[in-house]
Amino acid sequence: MKVSVSKFERTHSEIKQVFVTALEGFVPIDVTKALTAFLDFCYIARQDVLTDDSLDALDSALGRFHHHRKIFQEAGVRPTGFSLPRQHSLTHYHHHIKKFGAPNGLSSSITESKHISAVKKPWRQSRRYEALSQMLVINTRNDKLAAARIDFSSRGMLNGTCLSEALNKLQNTLEDVEDDTISTEDDLDLSTEDGQDLDADEEEDMTGAVDGPPTLSEVTLAQKRGKHRLVFHISEHF
């Protein structure tokens, strides 16, 4: 069963609230005291603001934890002692908090989540043979895609869908056509002066003789039974 890091951290925090109460009476008293001191250290270190009194309480909780954890060595759980990197790092908290400030809930799950995205997933996407170079290429492409997404979002290029963008362009085109039509009608209205009708002027221009040299032409009508062919010479009327 796969459990996400965030869900595991949430479950772990909920367990810590009832951990000591659930174990009381079932384990030696020194085990309960060691776990209580360790949880006190954890809760103090996760505070947003740490003062000198808080650091003194932190050192006191750590001293009590080191004193009571000997029960695990005496019971044979850790017969060779405690050479654990995470427990050793607790001794450096006081110095680093004074130097860099409160950890403010810093957890190693941050590096675990980065390990998943930078190592585990690229490994699954590789050919599993000489995968290091493939993983580097995958991480590089993922970083470029993430940077491109940020750039496109800042430019507003990811707002809406392709269909909505096409509809917007179509609407803009229709509005431009409508504006051109209105401007053309306005030009026609302005060109008409003193109430003159443009159609009437065009009809007047189309009547009467047309300027230019005369031309000779003829029209031959359809032949009818019992009648002569009628040839009409237009030139006779000029």
> What is the extent of the structural domain holding 21?
5-106
* Gap between the Cα atoms of 45 and 48, Å rounded: 9
Burial 183-200 (b: 16+ CB within 10 A, else e): eeeeeeeeeeeeeeeeee
Residue 65 and residue 102 in one domain:
yes
Q: What confidence tens digit (pLDDT) does each residue in 85-115 have? A: 888 888 999 999 999 888 877 766 677 778 8
> 119 CB contacts (<8 Å, ≥6 apart)?
135
Q: Is residue 42 part of a domain?
A: yes
| 235/111 Cα distance (integer angstroms) | 105
**Do the Cβ atoms of 37 and 68 come closer than 8 Å?**
yes
pLDDT for 222 equals 61
Q: What are phi and psi of 116, to 5 degrees?
A: -65, -45
* pLDDT-derived band at 126, boundaries 50, 70, 90: very high
Place of tokens 């965030």: 6
Return the C-alpha torsion angle 90, 94, 99, 101, nearest 10. 90
Q: Answer yes or no: do 132 and 97 share one domain.
A: no
> Between residues 218 and 128, which one has the greater pLDDT?
128
Closest listed residue to residue 109, CA positions, set 234, 9, 221, 224: 9
Whether residue 90 sits in one domain with residue 11: yes
18 and 102 part of one domain:
yes
Residue 63 has pLDDT above 90, yes or no: yes
d(CA 168, CA 188): 31
- Which range has the worst mean pLDDT, 18-27, 166-175, 217-226? 217-226
Residues 94 and 132 grouped into a single domain? no
Confidence label for 177 from pLDDT (cuts 50, 70 and 90) = confident
Domain count, the chain: 2
Residues 33 and 96 in one domain: yes
